[in-house]
Chains A and B, each alone.
Chain A
Amino acid sequence: MFETLTEKLNKVFTDIGRRGKLSEADVDAAMREVRLALLEADVNYGVVKDFVSRVRERSVGHEVSRALNPAQQVIKIVNEELIQTLGEPAPLNLSGPKPRLIMLVGLQGSGKTTAAGKIGRLLRSKGERVMLVAADPYRPAAITQLQTLGNRLDIPVHTEAGVLPPKLAEDAMAKAEKGGFTVVILDTAGRSQLDEALMNELGAITTRVKPAEILLVVDAMIGQEAVNIARGFRDAVEITGLVLTKMDGDSRGGAAISIRSVTGVPIKLLGTGEGLDALETYDPGRLASRILGMGDMIGLIERAEAQFDQATAQKQAERLMKGEFTLEDFATQLKQLRKMGPLSQILEMLPGGMGQMARTVNPRDAEKQLKKTEAIINSMTLLERRNPKVLNASRKRRVALGSGTDVQDVNRLLKQYRDAQRMFKQLKKSGPRGLPKLFG
């Protein structure tokens, strides 16, 4: 159940080997798996159908290249098609006369108000003078919610009691123009696309003011209905972009494919956390692998790179190759791992099977284990760290006592260290090929 598409396709193709062309029967079998993977990712049934037929067309008769096995080739085609459907990321459109209006629309609970705050913060940091407008007179405390966010960000919020949203939007634009604001962000009430009166209200707003952007805010966890919801909003107003929220969850986010297929407008931003700075631009490749259940390896690598101390790493690598890897290096590496963020988040970014496995690890236990390891190494003398062989029974007892652990814990760490050392020695002998294959 938790196999990745790669693993499933590998099974489909076991008999084919690496020669000839992909036959129709092979492709049929593969397409069944592709279809299931996409449906599991919440891509709409009809959208999947079209998508799979495109991939099939490209796959049949495709030369099996020597570099990739058939499974990898199909994945490559699927991935390319996904990336093409998702489209290039687009920046917010801030052209036109100031103040430019950004209008947020979407279902109840999709995350519009939080997105308004986040976008306000982002644009202000780029030098814009931002005003927020609370145009949700219906949900209790919706206005207070935006005001609270505005206070926290020190961004003014325009409200008017008893004024309906179309007039309110117009008033806000006039006020913004007078006040020298360059961007106005209009937070509208959540509504179902089936609610005719409220959908007409959106139309009424856009006859009074001319938004530079109308962003449809969509919860990444949404299911098959994404298609109809997107259609409903597209028919009411001219959507110019998408914001996918709650991307920090573990939904696969296939709705992005559905909505893109319906609206054709670019995905502009992703909401990735509770903090007001948790707003990211989007990368089609990363989202494609997420939809395929292949994890966010690029995100993981980026995170590692961002925290990695190049100089230290260089020095370590040199010593490593000389066979001088010590417990001190081990401790430094652990520290760098910790800098990448909470283990729970790092574990979530692992692909498919590994990600699922990782989810069974209690991140708190894992953190505890890391802390224990650090404590043990910190309780060693310099000599012991550089030459762990000197650790006899009495030294081990001292280290255990000093780190608040047991001699068993110390022994376990020493064994891990020896294993790692053995691996590096092997690596030195045979180059990277000597490493066990980590990623299928």
Chain B
Amino acid sequence: MAENLLARWKTGLEKTRKSTFGRISQIFGVTQITDGTWEELEALLIQSDIGIDTTEKIMEELWEIESSAGLTRTSELREALKNTLRARLDTPPPLDLSAKPTVILIVGVNGSGKTTTIAKLGQYFRNQGKTVLLGAADTFRAAAVDQLQIWADRLNLPIISGQPNGDPGAVSYDTIQSAISRGIEIVIIDTAGRLHTRYNLMEELRKVYRVAGKALDGAPHMVWLVMDATTGQNALQQARAFKEAVRVTGVILAKLDSSARGGMAFAIQRELNLPIYFAGLGEKLDDLTPFDPEAFVESILEDFGV
């Protein structure tokens, strides 16, 4: 299973490797650590969108290991880097799906990949033998409801849809009510994309959150933020704002099959203590896999062509 997963990660990220191959192989190919090694290493960390603060911390850690453990070879440095990166990511805790139904609210900025991710989640849970109901509460963006409807038809999953420009809170309420009466196990609710700086839209999202709680005590049980892996340093501000508004409980890293490496995951994990549950590795329905920190770190390093 683990090997299979790693293979999936690798094929998902193969395209990435093709485009940027060989940069670190130059670093790690040389046997002796030089000043140039450090400079290149810094470049690669920053270019992975890991951010300056985290990059500096990682570099300091590695310097310390280098001098205390007396590292001289670049292959040793690579190993140390791998461990340092890995230590900065938690293995996501197992999903608690004990509530019946378990309500999952999907939030994020415009264009991050929420709707496609929901389709993939629908398939993922159904493949685990769960019954799933989708709620199309993005009543704002043109044809967003149609988009999820098409996915639901393809997957043969039931869906509750809102009217264009209807009240998203009402849709989430109806969806949860319907799930209760049908005895469905998992409810996934799509919301409109919104920039975290838009106060009124964030207020609307808070309302959707509150209304879900009125439909069912404890709902939504999980709030997942879908983030585009190509996002830069703004990712942290996004995650912070959504967490404050609707108590985000986890992150899904979408579009990790792009050439971007998703380095902002490190800062989000560290500073906001949000687990990363899933990663989107392609356009096909089964291209969503549980986030595997080992594979993620390995693929970042693999990406560097070692």
A residues at B contact (CB < 8 Å): 36, 39-42, 44-46, 107-111, 113, 139-142, 144-149, 152, 192-195, 219, 221-226, 228-229, 232, 246, 248-252, 254-255, 274, 342, 344, 348, 363-364
Contact A109 B48 (CB under 8 A): no
**A142 to B151, alpha carbons, bound, how many Å?**
13
Contact A109 B228 (CB under 8 A): yes
Q: Does B20 contact A (CB under 8 A)?
A: yes
B residues at A contact (CB < 8 Å): 15-16, 18-20, 43, 46-49, 52, 109-113, 116, 140-144, 146-147, 149-151, 154, 164, 195-201, 203, 228, 230-235, 237-238, 255, 257-261, 263-264
Contact B257 A192 (CB under 8 A): yes
CB-CB nearest 10 A-B residue pairs: A223-B232, A109-B111, A148-B142, A42-B232, A141-B147, A145-B143, A251-B234, A140-B150, A144-B143, A141-B146
Question: B196 — which chain A residues lie within 8 A by C-beta?
Answer: 249-250
Contact B259 A249 (CB under 8 A): no
Contact B230 A250 (CB under 8 A): no
Q: What is the CB-to-nearest-CB distance from B52 to chain A, in angstroms, rounded to a whole number?
A: 5
Please tell me which one of the listed residues A111, A229, A252, A342 contacts residue B230 in the complex, with CB atoms under 8 A apart: A229
Question: A226 — which chain B residues lie within 8 A by C-beta?
Answer: 232
Contact B46 A45 (CB under 8 A): yes
**A36 to B52, alpha carbons, bound, how many Å?**
7
Q: What is the CB-to-nearest-CB distance from A235 to chain B, in angstroms, rounded to a whole number?
A: 11
Q: What is the CB-to-nearest-CB distance from A253 to chain B, in angstroms, rounded to a whole number?
A: 9
Q: What is the CB-to-nearest-CB distance from B4 to chain A, in angstroms, rounded to a whole number?
A: 23
Interface centre among B113, B140, B234, B260 (most CB of A within 10 A): B234
Chain A minimum-CB-distance residue to B261: A225
**A206 to B258, alpha carbons, bound, how many Å?**
24
Please tell me which one of the listed residues B43, B228, B233, B257 contacts residue A219 in the complex, with CB atoms under 8 A apart: B228
Contact A246 B195 (CB under 8 A): yes
Contact A250 B47 (CB under 8 A): no
Contact B258 A192 (CB under 8 A): yes
Contact B43 A45 (CB under 8 A): yes
Question: A348 — which chain B residues lie within 8 A by C-beta?
Answer: 197
Contact A144 B197 (CB under 8 A): no
Q: What is the CB-to-nearest-CB distance from A133 to chain B, in angstroms, rounded to a whole number?
A: 16
Contact A249 B258 (CB under 8 A): no
Q: How many CB-defined contacts (below 8 Å) exist between A and B?
A: 158
Interface centre among A195, A223, A250, A342 (most CB of B within 10 A): A223
Contact B52 A39 (CB under 8 A): yes
Contact A342 B200 (CB under 8 A): yes
Contact B147 A145 (CB under 8 A): yes
Q: What is the CB-to-nearest-CB distance from A413 to chain B, in angstroms, rounded to a whole number?
A: 25
**A409 to B19, alpha carbons, bound, how many Å?**
63
Contact A255 B199 (CB under 8 A): no
Chain B minimum-CB-distance residue to A140: B150
Q: What is the CB-to-nearest-CB distance from A2 to chain B, in angstroms, rounded to a whole number?
A: 11
User: Known contacts being A40-B233, A144-B146, A250-B234, is A108 close to B20, with CB within 8 Å?
Assistant: no
Question: B140 — which chain A residues lie within 8 A by C-beta?
Answer: 274
Question: B141 — which chain A residues lie within 8 A by C-beta?
Answer: 145
| Given pairs A144-B147, A193-B19, A274-B198, 14 additional interface contacts (CB within 8 A) | A46-B43, A107-B230, A111-B110, A139-B116, A145-B144, A147-B143, A149-B142, A192-B15, A194-B259, A249-B195, A251-B232, A274-B140, A342-B199, A363-B199
**A252 to B231, alpha carbons, bound, how many Å?**
12
Chain A minimum-CB-distance residue to B147: A141
User: Known contacts being A40-B52, A108-B113, A228-B259, is A223 close to B142, with CB within 8 Å?
Assistant: no
Question: B110 — which chain A residues lie within 8 A by C-beta?
Answer: 109, 111, 246, 274
Interface CB pairs A-B, < 8 A, 13 = A40-B52, A40-B233, A45-B43, A113-B142, A140-B151, A144-B142, A148-B142, A194-B257, A221-B235, A225-B258, A249-B196, A251-B232, A363-B199
Interface centre among A142, A250, A364 (most CB of B within 10 A): A250
